[in-house]
Structure 1
Amino acid sequence: MVSATVPLGLLLPSEFLTSPAFQFLAAFVAINTIMYAALALAKLLPKVYLSDLVTRRGRRKETRSIHPDEPVGLPPK
């Protein structure tokens, strides 16, 4: 049989919950949780590349590969 004087857990006084230190830690944990959830959701979404959204005028008209394709302006042979 368990006696009533044996502590079964840690109990804090209610004044501790209103202290600035506890409120700061609670805010830090809340912001950390929100950031972790946002990063986890961001990993689920497909990657977005800026080059797909913005077209540039200086884009090459020919490939610079070792084995180049046919030039863009000429008809195929």
Structure 2
Amino acid sequence: MAIAVPAGLLFPEALLHTHWFAVLATFVAINTVMYAALALAKILPKVNPSDWIRKRNERSETRSIDPGSTR
């Protein structure tokens, strides 16, 4: 015999004020933020700082026989 609960599974309000529930909620929050950060990092293009900063031994112009090459 099943009992229908229209609002889903409900816990007593006292359970929400326990220490272990706060620890569990904190873990879930940190896990969610980390998952979102990793997903965002995977979507964004890779950042190469060497593309922005010119090294001392790097030529300002290419000396290749191929005029379309960038390096």
TM above 0.5:
yes
Number of residue equivalences:
60
Moved over 6 A (4+): none
Are 1:44 and 2:43 counterparts? Answer: yes
Give RMSD over aligned pairs. Answer: 2.9
Partner AA of 1:15 in structure 2: A
Look up the match of 1:14: 13
Query: Which whole-Å deviations, capped at 9, do the CAs of 1:7-61 have from their partners, x for residues lacking one?
Result: 978653321211111101101101111110111011111111121122221337x
Give the TM-score normalised by the residue count of structure 2. 0.61
Are 1:57 and 2:56 counterparts? Answer: yes
| Secondary structure in 2 matching 1:57 | coil
Partner AA of 1:37 in structure 2: A
Q: Which sections of structure 1, spanning at least 5 residues, go unmatched?
A: 61-68, 71-77
Q: Which sections of structure 2, spanning at least 5 residues, go unmatched?
A: 66-71
